[in-house]
């Protein structure tokens, strides 16, 4: 029999080759693929896929998989392929998920011996794009199908006339989103399409991730690594001509990132407690901040972090894994004609009773099209199939708006479906984020949150938000709640303690600014600070009123303007106060102030942005276009940061 490996001038001894030949037939396809890539990377194989390279070793294994195997060196120091192992990972991320995943990809690539430039889209110099050979984009979608703030300038560049042709670029996109939004993963889809239009070659198909993105993202990363190693092994580098000059240029991409803010170390250590391993934090306090007679309920939730080792910074958020309302769970079980004790699979948590699974592990309050079409398949309901059919999006949207699984089961008479199969279709319970309202310097073992209860009446039923309802109605001191810290590098106090800050945060948007001022008080930062805050009524809705007053008196907060929208016949909002203080506000910006906006994304953040543009135009004697460009520059310098939801 012809041995699978033969010696020519290979780096192996005869004995090693014999050992490898004995080993090869015992390997799985995946193991063989890996070995092929590994040998190729070592320079031991001229060409993979069974073709003997000059003076090399021939292997029957084809294709290649992960670059590292436990116990073996992660990657060889030298590679024989003509093309350097260079990759650029760009992320566009508002609340940090994409940034974290981009970091994970960079780390994996580095472990596989790749030289990686990891960079925020905002800090990436677009004129370097044409020099990038292997481009990986991780990007989320926000607003109504819009790019996250730190992706806007790159998005516009790529979709504009100045975008270069990219015939020498390979790429792949990981898109983050949420299937409950109409424009699911729109920004990722846009990047994917545009890169193809510019002539770049898709190395691995785009993956669109729902809120439970871990598995899909990990799978995409594995496929990216496999594809890259396969390219190396196949000598495909030669398919894309790369001059040695380009090597230097690609390296310059990493060196050429504007500023350092977006340059992220790929090797930051993972915390012990994380999204996949949440910490069970004890509730230390849970009080209503609104006064009697208010039509709103806002909980000041204090969680103990004792023993967790968790660290946070102002601007970060805590993510809470909530429980569904037990009354809703029981009603769903009854409507489905199920037994609460029926056994179902709940991923890593194993086999659970249906009630336990629906209480803690699965989402039952959101109807997405993918979910409804799968339920239609399971039930065979023609009416449901029609509702979820493509072309029927508007009717679906109208139906799904404000309805949950209980409505669906009842409206379509879905009873007696196999519980275990039904549960398999549900999305995992997503965690909810809450801006941190405390400084860890002042509260080393605690974290404060400001959570407003979502409550409304729709389709004849009173409904509460899953997490805010859980916190407001059922969480008591002494209870434990699964959390993790969601770092947000895009919403941070300036490094310079003397830099002025302008904080615009009506409603719960004020939460991170409580943390900012507390932190500045602790560190003795001397920079001026100005808060624009508003809510409905002065008497009942002035969150943290006494603390703001104390900080104003002590000088920790320099200035505060408030807008209570329902105390006067005409509504007054924070942007009205900003416009009234236009001259001073512009002067602060001219002095180098960083402007922060937090809270409602749909209306407030847009109107506040309009107000900022109007102020810059009016006070700076600029046209609207020029004022927009000033704001874009502020964004690029990290001097206009938003945390909006």
Ligand X SMILES: Cc1cc2nc3c(=O)[nH]c(=O)nc-3n(C[C@H](O)[C@H](O)[C@H](O)COP(=O)(O)O)c2cc1C
Ligand Y SMILES: NC(=O)c1ccc[n+]([C@@H]2O[C@H](COP(=O)([O-])OP(=O)(O)OC[C@H]3O[C@@H](n4cnc5c(N)ncnc54)[C@H](OP(=O)(O)O)[C@@H]3O)[C@@H](O)[C@H]2O)c1
Q: Residue 110 or 643: which CB sits closer to ligand X?
A: 643
Q: Residue 218 touches which of ligand Y, ligand X, ligand FAD, none (CB < 5 to 8 A by kind)?
A: none
Q: Does 508 bind ligand FAD (CB under 6 A)?
A: yes
Q: Which does 451 bind (CB under 5 to 8 A by kind): ligand Y, ligand FAD, ligand X, none?
A: ligand FAD
CA-based nearest residue to 87, from 150, 167, 163, 172:
172
Q: Which of these segments, 205-213, 412-420, 462-470, 539-547, binds ligand FAD (CB under 6 A)?
A: 462-470
Partner interacting with residue 314 (select from ligand X, ligand Y, ligand FAD, none; CB below 5-8 Å by kind): none
Residue 247 in contact with residue 86, Cβ under 8 Å? yes
Beta carbon nearer to ligand X, 10 or 141:
141
Nearest to 453 by CA among 431, 479, 432, 428: 432
Half-sphere exposure in the Cβ direction for 392 (13 Å, CA):
15
Candidates 503, 508, 507, 506; CA nearest to 518 is 503
- Interaction of residue 212 with ligand Y, rule CB under 6 A: no
For the chain, what is the radius of gyration of the CA atoms? 28
Cβ count within 10 A of residue 225: 23
Q: Does 428 bind ligand X (CB under 6 A)?
A: no
Of 230, 183, 184, give the one whose Cα is nearest residue 207.
184
Nearest to 129 by CA among 163, 172, 161: 163
- Number of shown-chain residues binding ligand X (CB under 6 A): 24
CA 608 to chain centre: 24
Residues ≥6 apart with Cβ < 8 Å to 613: 624, 627, 628, 631
Integer angstrom CA distances of residue 334 from 355, 399, 421, 640: 11, 22, 17, 50
Residue 599's binding partner out of ligand X, ligand FAD, ligand Y, none, with CB under 5 to 8 Å set by partner kind: ligand Y
List beta partners, residue 168: none
Any contact of residue 93 with ligand X (CB under 6 A)? Answer: yes
First-to-last alpha carbon distance for the chain, in angstroms, is: 66
Can residue 458 be called a binding residue for ligand Y (CB under 6 A)?
A: no
Judge residue 109's burial from the number of C-beta atoms within 10 Å of its C-beta, 0-12 exposed, 13-18 middle, 19 or more buried.
buried
Q: Which does 536 bind (CB under 5 to 8 A by kind): ligand X, ligand Y, ligand FAD, none?
A: ligand Y
Binders of ligand FAD among residues 429 to 448 (CB under 6 A) are: 432-435
The minimum distance between CB 432 and ligand Y, in angstroms, equals: 8
Quickly list H helices, 62-201.
Answer: 97-111, 152-159, 186-197
Rule CB under 6 A: say whether 185 interacts with ligand X.
yes
**What is the C-alpha to C-alpha distance for residues 208 and 394, in angstroms, rounded to an integer?**
22
600 binds, among ligand FAD, ligand Y, ligand X, none (CB under 5 to 8 A by kind): ligand Y
| Residue 148 binding target from ligand X, ligand FAD, ligand Y, none, CB below 5 to 8 Å by type | ligand X
Q: Minimum Å distance from CB 140 to ligand X?
A: 3
φ and ψ at residue 389, rounded to 5 degrees? -65, 150
Q: Could you tell me the smallest distance in angstroms from the CB atom of residue 631 to ligand Y?
A: 17
Q: Map the footprint of ligand FAD across residues 464-483, applying CB under 6 A.
A: 465-469
Site string for ligand X, 164-183 (x = CB under 6 A): ------------xxx--x-x
Closest distance of CB 434 from ligand X, Å: 12
Q: Does 148 bind ligand X (CB under 6 A)?
A: yes
Contact call for residue 508 and ligand X (CB under 6 A):
no
What is d(CA 31, CA 66) in angstroms, rounded to the nearest whole number?
9
96, 262, 469, 599: which one binds ligand X (CB under 6 A): 96
Using CB under 6 A as the binding rule, whether residue 184 contacts ligand X is answered as yes
The option from ligand Y, ligand FAD, ligand X, none interacting with 343 (CB < 5 to 8 A, set by class) reads: none
Does position 456 interact with ligand FAD (CB under 6 A)? The reply is yes
Q: Which is nearer to ligand X, 170 or 189 (CB)?
A: 189
> x-or-dash pattern for ligand FAD, window 379-408, by CB under 6 A?
-----------------------x------
Residues 482-541 that bind ligand Y (CB under 6 A): 506-508, 534-536
d(CA 408, CA 328): 13
Structure-block tokens of residue 38 = 């590994």
CB atoms within 10 A of CB 282: 16
Pair of tokens at residue 401: 């708006």
CA 265 to chain centre: 17
Q: Return the one option of ligand Y, ligand FAD, ligand X, none that residue 66 interacts with (CB less than 5 to 8 A, by type).
A: none
CA distance 365 to 74: 44
Interacting residues with ligand Y (CB under 6 A): 452, 454, 506-508, 534-536, 565-566, 571, 573-575, 599-600, 602-604, 607, 645
Interacting residues with ligand FAD (CB under 6 A): 95, 317, 365, 402, 432-435, 450-452, 454, 456, 458, 465-469, 508, 511, 643, 645
Interacting residues with ligand X (CB under 6 A): 93-98, 140-145, 148, 176-178, 181, 183-186, 211, 601, 645
């Amino acid at each position: 029999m012809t041995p699978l490996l033969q010696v020519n001038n290979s780096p192996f001894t005869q004995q090693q080759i014999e050992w490898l030949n004995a080993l090869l037939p015992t390997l799985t396809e995946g193991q063989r693929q890996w070995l092929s890539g590994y040998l190729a990377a070592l320079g031991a194989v001229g060409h993979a896929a069974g073709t003997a390279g000059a003076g090399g070793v021939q292997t029957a294994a084809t294709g290649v998989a992960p670059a590292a195997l436990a116990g073996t060196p992660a990657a060889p120091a030298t590679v024989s392929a003509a093309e350097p192992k260079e990759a650029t990972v760009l992320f566009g991320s508002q609340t940090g998920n994409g940034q974290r995943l981009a970091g994970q990809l960079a780390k994996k690539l580095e472990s596989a011996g790749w030289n990686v430039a990891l960079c925020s889209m905002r800090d990436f110099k677009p004129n370097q794009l044409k020099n990038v050979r292997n481009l990986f984009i991780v990007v989320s979608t926000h607003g109504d199908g819009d790019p996250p703030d730190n992706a806007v300038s790159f998005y516009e560049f790529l979709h504009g006339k100045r975008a270069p042709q990219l015939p020498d670029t390979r790429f792949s996109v990981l898109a983050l989103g949420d299937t409950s939004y109409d424009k699911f993963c729109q920004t990722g889809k846009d990047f994917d399409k545009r890169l193809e239009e510019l002539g770049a070659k898709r190395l691995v198909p785009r993956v669109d991730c729902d809120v439970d993105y871990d598995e899909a993202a990990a799978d995409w990363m594995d496929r990216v690594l496999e594809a890259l190693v396969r390219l190396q092994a196949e000598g495909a580098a030669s398919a894309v001509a790369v001059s040695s000059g380009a090597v230097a240029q690609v390296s310059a991409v990493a060196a050429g990132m504007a500023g350092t803010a977006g340059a992220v170390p790929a090797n930051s250590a993972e915390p012990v407690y994380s999204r996949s391993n949440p910490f069970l934090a004890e509730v230390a306090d849970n009080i209503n901040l609104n006064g009697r007679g208010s039509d709103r309920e806002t909980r000041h939730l204090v969680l103990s972090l004792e023993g967790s080792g968790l660290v946070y910074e102002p601007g970060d958020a805590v993510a809470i894994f909530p429980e569904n309302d037990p009354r809703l769970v029981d009603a769903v079980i009854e409507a489905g004609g199920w037994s609460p004790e029926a056994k179902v699979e709940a991923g890593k948590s194993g086999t659970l009773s249906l009630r336990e699974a629906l209480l803690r592990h699965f989402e039952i309050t959101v109807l997405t099209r993918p979910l409804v079409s799968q339920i239609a398949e399971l039930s065979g309901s023609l009416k449901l199939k029609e509702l979820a059919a493509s072309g029927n999006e508007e009717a679906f949207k109208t139906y799904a708006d404000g309805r949950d699984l209980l409505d669906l089961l009842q409206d379509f008479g879905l009873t007696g479906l196999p519980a275990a199969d039904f549960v398999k279709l549900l999305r995992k319970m997503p965690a909810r984020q809450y801006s941190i309202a405390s400084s860890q310097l002042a509260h080393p073992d605690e974290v404060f949150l400001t959570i407003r209860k979502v409550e409304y009446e729709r389709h004849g039923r009173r409904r509460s938000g899953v997490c805010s309802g859980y916190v407001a109605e059922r969480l008591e001191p002494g209870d434990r709640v699964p959390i993790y810290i969601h770092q947000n590098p895009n919403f941070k106090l300036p490094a310079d303690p003397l830099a002025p800050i302008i904080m615009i945060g009506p409603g719960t948007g004020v939460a991170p600014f409580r943390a900012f001022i507390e932190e500045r008080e602790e560190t003795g930062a001397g920079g001026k600070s100005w808060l624009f805050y508003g809510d409905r009524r002065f008497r009942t809705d002035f969150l943290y009123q006494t603390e703001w007053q104390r900080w104003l008196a002590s000088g920790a907060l320099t200035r505060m303007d408030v807008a209570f929208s329902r105390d006067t016949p005409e509504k007054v909002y924070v942007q009205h106060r900003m416009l009234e203080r236009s001259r001073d506000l512009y002067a602060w910006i001219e002095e180098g102030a960083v402007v922060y906006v937090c809270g409602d994304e749909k209306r407030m953040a847009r109107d506040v942005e309009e107000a900022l543009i109007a102020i810059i135009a009016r006070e700076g004697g600029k046209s609207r276009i020029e004022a927009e460009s000033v704001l874009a520059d502020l964004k690029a310098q990290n001097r206009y940061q938003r945390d909006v939801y």
